[in-house]
Amino acid sequence: MIIEIRLVFKLKLKYCQQFWSLIQLGIIGCSLGSIGVYFWRFQEANHISHLFEQTNGYIYINLQLAVYVNDILTFLLGYCCFFSMIKFVQLFRFNQRISLFAETLKYCAKALISFSMMFAIVFMAFLSLFYLLFISKLSSCSSLISTAQMLFEMTLMKFDASQIMRADAFLGPFCFALFMFLVVFVCLSMFLSIINDSFRHAKDDNQKEDQLILSFMLKKFLRWTGLKKLNQLEIQEERDCRMRSQYFDPIENLPDRMDQLLVALNRIYIDQKKELARLNKAGL
């Protein structure tokens, strides 16, 4: 929590723009809230038990507040577990598939938000249409919630078209075909296209440094514990690597080597000039 407070003061508004920062705030908030509500529930339980002990249970004890506090604690613990499980995605970022999944969501976040707004408008339009047309003819359209459930089942291709056709000979098949075309074929195709395009970009730009670091750490750990022994090929490769690093200089050292060569040539030239001057002075 101290680290997050420092990051808030350091990043300020940029801190709230990061997805994992919001997840971390959710974990901290739910954890602190759970601690506070737990002590509240403990105090309420002590109050009820003390009241029951004084009256021997012969008076009416209202347990509504205790149940309400217990429900709040359950909700906070549920959200805390939810945010913690989402946090595992970041902790397992060394895995290539999970890293690719996170990068795909990162690329398609803005597009999915725009698509969700458009899909919500289209879905609400069909929700109103089916509810107003078939409220008195279909039991699955008796309320908005049941109508929304029926439309979601139709989106997942789990429906009974015969009921809609029996409800109205013309409007039933027409509304059903219109919903299937706009929502199932058009909207879902757009959704899959967004995911596919983002996956392609994430796969091209996915960096493998974390995976290489993890494999290197795992290999070193297995060697250190003796669980994995080097074969002859790995021993030869490691020996060659040490030999190359000892006898071959990398190309980055070429400018330094050139500077050293020029300094040596300059020193030789100056020494020769001094020697010639000394010989001329001696008359030789």
Residue 198: Cβ-neighbour burial (10 angstroms; 0-12, 13-18, 19+): buried
> What distance in Å separates the CA atoms of residue 184 and residue 191, rounded to the nearest whole number?
10
Structure tokens at 271: 């020494």
Alpha-carbon distance 185 to 175, whole Å? Answer: 15
* Cα angle 202-95-84, degrees, rounded to a multiple of 5: 100
Look up the pTM and report it.
0.56
Give me the residue label for tokens 């979601």: 152
User: What ranges do the domains of the chain cover?
Assistant: 2-91, 106-205, 249-284
User: What is the pLDDT tens value at each position of the chain, 284 positions in all?
Assistant: 677 677 777 777 776 777 778 888 888 889 999 999 999 999 998 988 888 888 877 788 888 888 999 999 999 999 999 988 888 777 766 666 777 777 788 788 888 888 999 999 999 999 999 898 888 888 888 888 988 988 888 888 887 778 888 888 888 888 888 988 998 889 888 998 988 888 888 777 665 555 556 666 667 667 667 666 666 676 676 676 666 655 555 566 667 777 788 888 888 888 888 888 877 777 66
